[in-house]
Structure 1
Amino acid sequence: MWWMLPVTLLIFFAVRRIALKIQSPLCNPLLISVLVLIPIMLLTKTSYTEYVANVNILNHLLACSVVALAYPLYELLPQIKERWRSIIFITFIGSVFAMLTGVFIAFWLGATPELAATILPKSVTTPIAVTIAKDQHGIPSISAFCVLLVGLSGALFGHKLLDLFKIKMPAARGLAIGTISHAVGTARCIEVDYQEGAYSSLALVLCGIITSLMAPLLFPIILMIHGWF
């Protein structure tokens, strides 16, 4: 299936070009590309395993893209030094709240501990989320889907929600979206405002670290509390 990688790239860049002209959050390149690729895979009877094996190089580029986000952070380093206590506090509270809300809502809807562990890391980037889900006996593949869903939700509706609450400060907007919607939300922030994108990328990194450290401590406590009810 040699054609999978070039077709994927062709679809993404074509959709990306259209999105730049339309300038609408609903025309998200990632979302539209997925919606176009699914029918192609069904028509060609291509399994997900085959597809991933042939486009695996794109997964490796994700790590490079996260590292590239360090450049805008470097440019805002003086501001970050002044606000580092607030930034750490905000990202810590956001990370913990993102884990707690996802898991408690899952249990409220009747989810099993395995599914709750799967949802636990939904607000961090895919490689970290998959590892956390696996360590907590969740289902990594479903966790990756939850990450994609949360990221797209933030990219599509995050700025509208912030506008609704009249939050205008680029630092606040970037930290909020980066904390909840990881790399997908960060990509949208960079398109909207360079400074906003820098703070979003900072939140993306910090929340990944915080979630990795806190998830093994929080989830057993959540399971114990759930057991009482």
Structure 2
Amino acid sequence: MFGLILSIAMYLGALAIFKRFPFPLLNPLVLATIFIILFLKITKIPYENYYKGGEILNILITPATVALGIPLYNTFHLLKKHVRSIMTGILLGTITSTFFTGILAVLFHLKKDIMVSIMPKSVTTAIALGISEKMHGIATVTLVIVIITGIIGSIIGPSILKALKVTDPVAQGVALGSAAHAIGTSRALELGPIEGAMSGLAIGVTGVVTVFVAPLMTQLVLALF
């Protein structure tokens, strides 16, 4: 139970700090991660020992994602109303994201296995690892990049939307869910129920689209460069 209790305690502590100082950089997930790393380093407790309990939280990712269907059901009328805009936005966003991820990988002279490992960075862990495996990527690299993408997206996403004057709750939710998966959705839920529901929808759709788009964009980038 050690890893589980430590994770929850650190998150609650980070959440209290965020409520006291609500700055984007003090995101509770980011702070909790830093606190856990520092604690393990100071106490010299192996990560493997911590993860025996911490993996319980990982197991809960899938049912937590499925549970997003509840707010989606409550706002299903919005999905039917904006289905074309939502589907088009997610498709174009996924194509753009994976293509430019591949371009950056080429510019930074990353090996092919690293490139394919970071291509599915904007989908949930379970889907990203499956895509990475099929493309012969490195699972640990995929896992790290997915987490980093989610954290960064949840921190700067709302600020970018605000700067671009994107105020529609459907658009905000789709943007956060398709760019920052489950972590972005947790931030979207803080903005409102509509944002959270649309973000939850975007997670699933983006995952399905990425399964087909990521391999195609990889081959396109490799063919061009």
Report the TM-score when normalising by structure 2. 0.94
| Structure 2 match to 1:174 | 173
Shift of 1:120: 0.4
Residue 203 of structure 1 corresponds to which residue in structure 2?
A: 202
CA distance in 2, matches of 1:115, 1:204: 23
CA distance in 2, matches of 1:9, 1:91: 33
Offset at residue 6 of structure 1 (A): 1.0
Q: Which residue of 1 aligns with 2:114?
A: 115
**Other-structure match for 1:75:** 74
Distance across 1 between alignment mates of 2:75 and 2:22: 26
Shift of 1:104: 0.8
**Residue type matched to 2:216 in 1?**
L
> Could you tell me how far 1:165 is from its partner in structure 2?
1.1
User: Which residue matches 2:83?
Assistant: 84
Displacement of 1:24:
2.7
1:66 alignment counterpart? 65
CA contact (8 A) 2:177 2:198 kept: yes
Question: Aligned pairs, how many?
Answer: 225
The aligned residue for residue 31 of structure 2 is 32
Q: How does 1:14-163 map to 2 (within 5 A)?
A: 14-163=13-162
Counterpart amino acid of residue 155 in structure 1: S
- Cα shift at 1:69: 0.7
Tell me how far apart the structure 2 counterparts of residues 117 and 170 of structure 1 sit (CA, whole Å).
33
200-209 vs 40-49, which moves further: 40-49
Q: How far did residue 49 of structure 1 move? A: 2.9
How far 1:54 sits from its partner (Å)?
Answer: 2.7
> How far did 1:99 drift?
0.9
What is the root-mean-square deviation of aligned Cα atoms in Å? Answer: 1.5
* Structure 1 residue 136: Cα displacement: 1.2
2:3–2:52 CA contact under 8 A, matched in 1: no
| SS of equivalent residue, structure 1 residue 55 | helix
Calculate percent identity across the aligned residue pairs: 31
Structure 2: gaps of 5 or more residues = none
Unaligned runs of 5+ in 1: none
Distance (whole Å) between structure 2 residues aligned to residue 71 and residue 17 of structure 1: 27
SS of 2:25's partner is coil
